[in-house]
């Protein structure tokens, strides 16, 4: 009798454990999906979504992974559907653990700044049109350059520097614009050969945050100097995105300049 009761208990665990893990994984995914939806539709501030939706999503995801992992003890007693649910719950749980861990690691690795410029003494400025677009967003970051930011940038991103070329400014501008137009995800807002200014923006894939950036081409002796500044509209830390954007563009520009 005891063996029969134990067998039934084992069968019940083999049936319910993977389903519980799978259910927790579904709840985690729903909460995570609500993060960009509620922010992009204006229902919640992004900080609210992070604390009230993203963090619980991570906790549910981790719970899904733990329960799914434990359910593998009864692997032999599971039907095909149970095994599939256990594996799905385990994968989602692992991802939900890794993603917040990764971003927390990046947050603690890079400086908490969101304004990166290759020229920290005279950073490129933004046009009224870009400033107006920024002002339309609530609690937008200022574009007033802070020398404290410059000190943090120097320490963290010493490789973010201007590009110099022997080409005349007019030709350098053409190639700088061509490099910008070829960048994936960029929307060119303005380009003015007379002032050597190119402005663009890019939205993040998940949350839809907008970053604004400006490229400036000026005469430098007999050649030209090309600077770039990239500024996030929202958030104190950019997780290193602006510096990486400048690096990526400068690499593409180098190829254009030959």
3-state helix vs strand vs coil in the chain, percent to 5:
55, 15, 30
Q: Structure pTM?
A: 0.80
- pLDDT tens over the chain, length 258 residues: 434 343 455 577 778 888 899 999 999 999 989 988 998 888 888 888 888 888 898 899 999 999 998 888 776 766 778 889 989 999 988 888 888 788 788 888 899 999 999 999 999 999 999 999 999 988 899 999 988 899 999 999 999 999 999 999 999 999 999 999 999 999 999 999 999 999 999 998 888 889 999 999 999 999 999 999 999 999 888 889 999 999 999 999 999 998
Which CATH number is correct for 115-257, 3.40.50.360, 3.30.470.10, 3.30.530.50, 2.102.10.10?
A: 3.30.530.50
- Sign of the alpha-carbon dihedral angle for 246, 144, 202, 53: positive
CA distance 241 to 155: 16
Pairing of strands 115-117, 223-232: antiparallel
CA distance 190 to 178: 13
Q: 79-110: buried (b, 16+ CB within 10 Å) or exposed (e) per residue?
A: eeebbebbbbbbebbbbbbeebeeeeeeeeeb
Instruction: Please check whether residue 117 is in contact with residue 123, taking contact to mean a CB–CB distance below 8 angstroms.
Output: yes
Instruction: Please check whether residue 188 is in contact with residue 181, taking contact to mean a CB–CB distance below 8 angstroms.
Output: yes
- 234 phi, psi to nearest 5 deg: -125, 150
């Amino acid at each position: 009798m005891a063996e029969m009761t134990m067998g039934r208990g084992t069968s019940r665990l083999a049936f319910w454990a993977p389903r519980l893990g799978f259910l927790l994984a579904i709840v985690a995914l729903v909460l995570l999906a609500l993060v960009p939806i509620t922010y992009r539709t204006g229902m919640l501030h992004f900080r609210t979504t992070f604390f009230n939706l993203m963090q619980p999503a991570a906790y549910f995801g981790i719970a899904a992974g733990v329960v799914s992992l434990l359910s593998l003890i009864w692997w032999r007693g599971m039907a095909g559907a149970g095994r599939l649910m256990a594996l799905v719950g385990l994968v989602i749980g692992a991802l939900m653990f890794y993603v917040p861990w990764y971003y927390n690691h990046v947050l603690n690795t890079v400086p908490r700044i969101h304004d990166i410029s290759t020229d920290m003494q005279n950073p490129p400025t933004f046009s009224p049109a870009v400033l107006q677009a920024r002002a339309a967003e609530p609690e937008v970051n200022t574009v007033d350059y802070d020398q404290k930011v410059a000190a943090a940038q120097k320490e963290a991103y010493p490789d973010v520097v201007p590009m110099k070329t022997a080409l005349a400014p007019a030709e350098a501008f053409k190639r700088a614009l061509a490099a910008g137009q070829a960048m994936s995800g960029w929307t060119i807002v303005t380009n003015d050969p007379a002032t050597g200014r190119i402005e663009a923006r890019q939205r993040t894939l998940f949350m839809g945050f907008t970053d604004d950036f400006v490229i400036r081409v000026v005469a430098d002796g007999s050649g030209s100097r090309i600077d770039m500044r990239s500024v996030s509209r929202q958030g104190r830390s950019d997780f290193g995105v602006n510096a990486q954007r400048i690096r990526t563009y400068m690499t593409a520009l180098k190829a254009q300049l030959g």
